[in-house]
Chain A
Amino acid sequence: MKPIPVPDATSAGYWEAANRGVLALPRCSRCSHFTLPAGALCPHCGSTDPAWTTEAVAGDATVRSWTVVRDSFLPGFAADVPYVIVDVELDVEPGLRLLGRLTDGADAPLHLGDRVTVAFDRLDDEFAVPAFSLTEEQVTS
Chain B
Amino acid sequence: MTFARNQVAIAGYAQSPIVRHADRTLGAIAVDTARAAIADAGLNVADVDGFTTGSLLPSSGGQAIVDGMSIVSAAWMAESLGVNPRFCSGFVGYGQIPGSVSLAVNAIASGAAETVVVHRALHNPPKGRYHGNPMTKAPGTAQWMAPMGYWGPLSMIAIPTMEYMQRYGATREDLAEVAVEARANGAQIPWSYWYDKPLSKDDYMAARVLSDPICMYDCDIPVDGVAAFVFTTAERAKDLANNPVYVQGFGMGSPTRARIPQHWPLEDIVDTGAETAARLWESSGLSVRDVDVPQLYDGFSPLVWWWLESLGYCERGEAFRFVSEGGINRANGGLPALSSGGAIGNGRMHGVPQMLEVYLQLAQRAGERQLASANVGVACHSSPHYGGAVLYSAHEL
Contacts and interface: CB of A to CB of B under 8 A. Distances in A.
Partners in one complex: yes
Interface in B138-166: 138-152, 154-155, 158-160, 162-163, 166
Interface in A2-18: 2-8, 11, 15
A112 B166 contact: yes
B299 to A, nearest CB: 17
Contacts of A74: 133, 135, 146, 149, 151
A30 interface: no
A116 to B, nearest CB: 14
**Which one of A4, A71, A99, A121 has the highest number of Cβ atoms from chain B below 10 Å of its Cβ?**
A99
B24 interface: no
Contacts of B136: 1-4, 76
Interface stretch (B47-55, B190-198, B208-216, B274-282): B208-216
A6 B212 contact: no
A27 to B, nearest CB: 14
Interface in A88-141: 95, 97-101, 111-112, 121, 123, 127, 129-131
Contacts of A11: 143
B212 A35 contact: no
B289 interface: no
Interface string B200-218: 0000000011111110000
Interface stretch (B3-11, B255-263, B314-322): B255-263
Nearest to B144: A37
Contacts of A95: 257
A111 B214 CA distance: 18
Nearest to A38: B258
B150 A99 contact: yes
Interface residues of A, number: 47
A103 to B, nearest CB: 12
A70 B147 contact: no
B131 interface: yes
A100 B155 contact: no
A8 to B, nearest CB: 7
B149 A72 contact: yes
Contacts of A127: 147
B320 to A, nearest CB: 16
Interface string B49-73: 0000000000011000000000000
Contacts of A72: 149, 151
A26 B212 CA distance: 31
A83 B211 CA distance: 10
A11 B141 CA distance: 11
A1 B137 CA distance: 9
A97 B129 contact: no
A65 B150 CA distance: 14
B186 to A, nearest CB: 24
A67 B155 contact: yes
Given A98-B260, A112-B166, A73 B152 contact: yes
B17 interface: no
A87 B144 CA distance: 13
Nearest to A85: B150
3 residue pairs, one from A and one from B, having the closest CB atoms: A6-B139, A43-B258, A65-B163
Interface of A: 1-8, 11, 15, 35-37, 39, 43, 64-77, 80, 83, 85, 87, 95, 97-101, 111-112, 121, 123, 127, 129-131
Given A80-B149, A97-B260, A121-B148, 15 more contacts: A1-B136, A2-B136, A4-B138, A5-B143, A5-B147, A11-B143, A64-B265, A65-B166, A67-B159, A72-B149, A73-B129, A73-B133, A85-B159, A99-B144, A130-B148
18 contacts: A3-B135, A3-B146, A4-B138, A6-B139, A36-B260, A37-B260, A65-B163, A67-B158, A69-B155, A70-B208, A70-B212, A71-B154, A71-B210, A73-B129, A76-B136, A87-B159, A87-B163, A87-B263
